Structures are given as C-alpha cells and as structure tokens.
A and B are shown apart, each in its own frame.
Chain A
Amino acid sequence: QVQLVESGGGVVQPGKSLRLSCAASGFTFSSYGIHWVRQAPGKGLEWVAIISFDGSNKYYEDSVKGRFTISRDNSKNTLYLQMNSLRVEDTAVYYCAKEAANEDWYFDLWGRGTLVTVSS
C-alpha cells in the first residue's frame, strides 16, 4: 500500500549525531520531492528540509542548515536525514512527507513519524 515509514529515532546526547530513514512504498518514489517536517512535544509543525525528486535540489530551515543533511537513494526508495551537532531544541517527532506532485509544495502523504530526543 501507499505509505511512508520513518525509523532511526531515539535518545541521543547533545552534540551527537543520528540518521533518520524514511522508507517509501506503493508509489513511484523517484518522481516526487520529499520533505522532513518536525513537531516538538506539544508544539506546532515545523518544516525542516526538502529534496527534489532526483536529489539535485535541497533546501533547509535556517536553524538546521549546516548541521542536517537530507539525501535519498531512489534505488532503495528511501529518504534520509543525517543530523549532526544535535541540540536539545531538536527534540521532536520527525515526519517525512511526500509532495502531491513534483514541486506542488504541499503534502498528500505523511509517515507516522519517529521521535528524536536530545538529552544529556
């Protein structure tokens, strides 16, 4: 079925690294831009990053630029988020979300999310 499944979350100390994955199925993964969106506990949605369908374009929210790297492997139908130099304020549920159509800039499919907790 059509779905996105995130994994890789957990508890990590400040300054450490973590890599999240998002496995896609049921649609042609290589045809769509995919985003990471996060939600801190009890807070609203915050966009993190986007990668274009072919990986040629990437954009980041300002607070993660230089620390987080978005990438994808279209042969494995998988999206990644490499998170380095993690901060307490990065604690959140991280969702991957699919664009409805290439560069349509809204999301018609979301994963269930994976929780990242940054704490000493």
Chain B
Amino acid sequence: SYVLTQPPSVSVAPGQTARITCGGNNIGSKSVHWYQQKPGQAPVLVVYDDSDRPSGIPDRFSGSNSGNTATLTISRVEAGDEADYYCQVWDSSSDHVVFGGGTKLTVL
C-alpha cells in the first residue's frame, strides 16, 4: 500500500516561514491535499490539488509537489497557525485514500 511520510514536528518563530514535507514514492504524479487540524476540532482543507487554496484560506498557505516530495509552505507564520497538518492523496492502485502521519506545527 502507498505510504506518505511526514516529519512528526516542525517549529518556527512567528513571522518566519514553515515548510512541512510529505514524502511518497513518485508523489509528484499524484494530487496532494493538505488539512489543518486544531485540538478538539475537525480537519480543515487548506490546500488541494498540490497548490490550490479553498476560498477563505489566506495566501500565506501554499503548496508544491514534485518528484518524491510534496511541501506545504506557511509564510509569515502566526500563533493561530499552530496545529497538526496532514497530507493526503488518492491511491488509484488500491482505491484507497491515504493520509500522512501528521506534523505538529509549533509556533515558538
């Protein structure tokens, strides 16, 4: 089955840029989606189809995908961005949705 690998944690100071990676075999050939989840809340879609943003998501959130790594980039990080972030793909070979293990973003 397809596996997505994320770093367990990323720390960044306010105002700096956070980059959260999502590794997978030839992930560049898939569409990658990213969710933000704050404690006690349901996940929220922040980036879809590698780099598109849903309405209402600040343009500080961006995404890229190439080769074996997809990246969620959060610019000008704010305290309110502190959350768990999950990448997700559809694995057509198994007809399964796959989530990465999640990355906890800490704003120092």
Contact = CB atoms under 8 A, between A and B. Distances in A.
Interface of A: 35, 37, 44-47, 50, 59, 61-62, 95, 97, 100, 104-108, 110-113
A61 B100 CA distance: 15
A106 B45 contact: yes
A37 B99 CA distance: 10
Interface in B7-40: 31, 33, 35, 37
Interface in B71-108: 84, 86, 88-90, 95-102
Contacts of A113: 42
Contacts of B43: 45, 95, 97, 107, 110
- Is the interface on chain B under 10, 10 to 19, 20 to 34, or 35 or more residues? 20 to 34
B86 A106 contact: no
A105 to B, nearest CB: 4
Contact of A107 (B45, B49, B84, B98): B45
